[in-house]
Amino acid sequence: MSRLRTAAATDTGYLRVTNQDVALATSDLAAVADGMGGHLGGEVAARIAVYELLETYRRDRTTDGLLAAVNEANAAVYRRSKADRNVRGMGTTLTAAAFIGDEPDGKLQLALVNVGDSRAYLLDPKARAVHRLTEDHSVVEEMVRSGELTPEEAAVHPHRHILTRVIGVEPSIEPDCWELDLEPGSRLLLCSDGLTNELDEQDIANVLADEADADKAAKELVRLALLRGGIDNVTVVVLDVLAGESSAVSDDVIVIPEVVPGSSRPVPEAEAAPITEVVALTPAFGEKVPSAPAPDPVPATPRPAGEQVAPVDSQGSSAVPKTTAVPHKAAAAAAPKGPHGRPMVLVPSTKRRKEQRDRLFTIRVALFVLVFVGVLGSTAGVVVWFDKASFFVGLDHGYVTIFQGRPGGLLWIQPSVVERTTITPADLLASNVVYLQQGMEESSYQAARNLVRSLSLEHLVIVPSGSTTTTTVRTRSTTVQNK
């Protein structure tokens, strides 16, 4: 027989103020939810989804029971979002793995579901590699599958966080689902995108392969993600398949970060306004919202003693998977059941508190802008004045021309033609033509005209016409002979 051992770890990260990730770890069910939404909506959505998933799954520990639990979680978040304007538009990703039975050959049968961009990986210890079991429900992931983007381009694409499927945005959802037959000793990882944004798959595989203890492996992955930047909340759950004589399930439940019943905490000003909203792209189809009241996201009784606390964060970015096979020898995958859910996206919220706008636009900012614009305008004025006060003589279309401006132009200002004469380079000395090609600068338009006149006369004085020279010489010779 086989049994499941789970360990979870999470951290808020260095740039986030709140942790909107939630991790669940039990002896037969593990999940990671990455919430999103204004105020504390993301945290509320993730926590509702995890508790509803656990409660519903334990009434039916089968693949169909797990799918039903995901749909119940979606309905619960949706109801709360519609009923409470403070968390309206909230949503969450959800990736979960559940024990559904032992096979006669000693393998453990696991069901895996996914909505959003939180991922599941299976470790191949011999190859020291991980195989990705889920497909992100994001715009860029669809573009990668269609060949429009490479994985490297998708990693830096500006729309990499736009989701096409999220828990709690529509009254119904179609999760992707697989059934896996795993050998004892197999190791899986569930994680939010705060981990995969910082570590590549080889980094993840090295930690999972080197650290035998699941709890230490989970903490080491979080530590490395923080070391690489820790921009987002980071949450991981490590699952080990162990051989044993009994497959009995324990009631121990670990949910992180822990929330103490009845406690309240102030909403940080940095996250007081809505951050994102989930917006459907297509018309809604027949909404069938369960009539049961929405569950309280925080249990009315304290969690078991084994429960742990840790900070978490969420952000969405994935695409709708269309593959029906898991890329690993030990994993037998089943195609997702039913059609894909209606596409949706996360967009920046246009609603912001007035206090925030006033706080951003202060007198100091206004003065800085005025000074900056004044300096910029003065500099531009000096440049224009200097350019317009300059003239030079050059060549244009084969004629000597007077220009206003600087030879070659000054910054963005190009010289303009003031007067084009009928004088060609053939009418000038060769040495002057060279200077004209470079531009001969003068202080005024009149000085430039005088220069043109001088250049023309200089050619006539220094190089008189050949016929005049001959006539003069002959006349002088005749006069001498007569005398």
- The token duo for 439 is 């531009």
Domains and CATH numbers, the chain: 2-354 (3.60.40.10), 361-483 (no CATH)
Residue with tokens 């070659």: 408
Q: How many angstroms separate the CA atoms of 134 and 131, rounded?
A: 9
For the segment 329-342, what is each residue's pLDDT rounded down to a tens digit?
A: 333 333 333 333 33
Q: Tell me what pLDDT residue 116 has.
A: 94
Q: Tell me what pLDDT residue 439 has.
A: 85
3-state DSSP assignment of residue 16: coil
In angstroms, the first-to-last Cα distance of the chain is 144
Q: Tell me what pLDDT residue 259 has.
A: 66
For 425-443, give the secondary structure using H, E and C: HHHCCHHHHHHHHHCEEEC
Q: What CA–CA distances, in Å, run from 404 to 166, 322, 398, 424?
A: 64, 66, 18, 20
Per-residue tens of pLDDT for the chain, all 483 residues: 457 899 999 999 998 888 999 999 998 999 999 998 765 789 999 999 999 999 999 999 999 999 999 999 999 999 999 998 888 889 999 999 999 988 777 788 999 999 999 999 999 999 999 999 999 998 888 888 888 888 778 777 877 778 889 999 999 999 999 999 999 999 999 999 999 999 999 999 999 999 999 999 999 999 999 999 999 999 999 999 987 645 455 567 889 887 644 444 433 333 333 334 444 444 333 444 344 444 444 343 333 333 333 333 334 333 333 333 333 333 333 333 333 333 444 444 444 444 444 455 678 788 888 888 988 888 877 777 777 778 889 888 889 999 888 787 777 788 888 888 888 888 887 778 888 888 888 878 888 888 888 887 876 666 555 544 433 333 333 333 433
Q: Tell me what pLDDT residue 285 has.
A: 38
Q: What CA–CA distances, in Å, run from 424 to 107, 403, 405?
A: 96, 16, 22
Q: Which residues are CB-neighbours of 189 under 8 A, at least 6 positions away?
A: 120, 121, 122, 123, 130, 204, 208, 221, 236, 237, 238, 239
Q: Tell me what pLDDT residue 329 has.
A: 33
Whether the Cβ atoms of residue 377 and residue 370 lie closer than 8 Å to each other: no
Q: Tell me what pLDDT residue 459 has.
A: 65
What's the sign of the alpha-carbon dihedral 241, 243, 246, 251? negative
β-sheet bridge partners, residue 253: 26
Q: How many angstroms separate the CA atoms of 329 and 343, rounded?
A: 32
β-sheet bridge partners, residue 97: 30, 112
Q: How many angstroms separate the CA atoms of 147 and 229, rounded?
A: 30
Q: How many angstroms separate the CA atoms of 60 and 302, rounded?
A: 24
* Residues listed for the chain: 483
Residue 260 CB: number of other CB atoms within 10 A? 11
Q: What CA–CA distances, in Å, run from 23 to 67, 236, 455?
A: 18, 7, 87
For the segment 385-433, what is each residue's pLDDT rounded down to a tens digit?
A: 777 778 889 888 889 999 888 787 777 788 888 888 888 888 887 778 8
